Amino acid sequence: MSGLPTIALTMGDPAGVGPEIVRKAVADAELAALAHWVVIGDARVLDGALQNATLHDVRALAGVDDFAFGKLDARCGAAGVEYVRIATEMCLRGEADAMVTAPLNKEAVTLSGRPFSGHTEYIAELCGATESRMLLASERLATVHVTTHVPLRAACSLSTERIVRTIQLGNEAMQLLGFARPRIAVCGLNPHAGEHGLFGEEDGCFIAPAVAVARAKGIDCSGPHAGDTVFLQASRGAYDLVVAMYHDQGHIPMKLLDFEGTVNISLGIPIIRTSVDHGTAFDIAGRNLADPRSMKQAMRMAARMANSRRRGAK
C-alpha cells in the first residue's frame, strides 16, 4: 500500500445520489487498486452498504436522522459540507494526496445558514487560496474557466491578468494529467471573437494581450478563437485545452460532448481535488438509478494527478 496515493472520497449530500455513486464506484476492483481510498460520510448510509466493497478505510461520521432521499434538507446540506471540510483538512495536513467529492446541493447548504456558491470556492477558502478556477476534463477534451459562478454581466468585465493566470493554471493541470506541452486555445468573449472590433472591443483589448503574455512565458496557446467553432476543433484533436471566458461557454460543450465522463477539477489551490460534473439529482436519488461513470472517472483522474505530483516531489 505504501506505493499508492491516499485519496479522501466524500459522500456528498446524503439525500442525493452521492451515497449511491460512491457505493458503486468503490465496488469497482480496478478503481480499488489505484489508491488507498478513505471514504467520508454518514455512518448509517455507509454502514453495511460498503461491506462488499474493496475499501481500505471508512471514516463514518454521525449522520442525519430521518432525512428523505430527494428532499431539500438543511441538515443534509450542513453534513455534506462537513465531509468536504474533513477531506480538505486531511489533504492540507498531508494525510491524503488528493480528494474526490460527490455532489452537494447549493440550496440545501444555503438553508443551513452558510453562504455557499460551490465546492471550488469553499475549498479554496479553507485552503486560504484567492484565485481558484474550475477545469472540466474528459478523455476527449478539457476546458478551464476564467469565471464560473458569477453573473454573466460580471463575467464580461474582463481582466488580462486573470486570463493569463487562468491559462497558466490550466497548463499546469494538464501537465499533471500527462501532457508535457499542452496545446491551448483561448476563447473570445464576443461572437466571432469580436470580428476585429465589429462586435465588441474586449477580445482585442484584454484577451489577445493575455495570449501574448502567456506565449512569452513559454506556454503553447493561441487565440482569441471564436467560441462557436473552437470546441469542435478541440474535440477533433486540434487542442488539448480550451480556456472559456465564462461558465456556460465552457460547460455547455463539455456536457454535450461527454456528460458522464466529464470531471470537475479545482485549480489554484494547494491540493488536488476532483469531482463529478453533475448535481445531486434529487429526482432519482435513492432509487438505484444513478450512473457512477463520472465518479469513477473523477477517482481515476485524482489518482493520476496524485501520482504525477508524488513523482515530481521525489
Q: Which phi and psi angles does 102 have, rounded to 5°?
A: -80, 165
- For residue 8 the three cell numbers come to 479522501
Scanning the structure block, which residue is given the C-alpha cell 460543450? 253
Using CA atoms of 282, 288, 289, 292 in order, give the dihedral in degrees to the nearest 10: 90
Using CA atoms of 62, 67, 73, 75 in order, give the dihedral in degrees to the nearest 10: -20
Vertex 118 angle, CA 183 and 230, to 5°? 25
- At 31 the pLDDT is 92
- At 1 the pLDDT is 44
DSSP 150: S
- At 47 the pLDDT is 61
Please state, as a whole number, how many other Cβ atoms lie within 10 Å of the Cβ of residue 263.
Answer: 26
Q: In whole angstroms, what is the distance from residue 212 CA to residue 98 CA? A: 33
In contact, 168 and 279? CB cutoff 8 Å: no
Q: In whole angstroms, what is the distance from residue 187 CA to residue 309 CA? A: 29
DSSP 5: P
Q: In whole angstroms, what is the distance from residue 144 CA to residue 68 CA? A: 35
DSSP string, 210-243: HHHHHHHTT--EEEEE-HHHHHHHHHTTS-SEEE
Q: In whole angstroms, what is the distance from residue 236 CA to residue 183 CA? A: 13
- At 134 the pLDDT is 92
Low-confidence ranges of the chain (pLDDT < 70): 1-2, 46-58, 60, 62-63, 313-314
Contacts (Cβ under 8 Å, ≥6 apart) of 266:
119, 120, 123, 124, 132, 133, 134, 135, 273, 274, 275
One-letter amino acid at 104 equals L
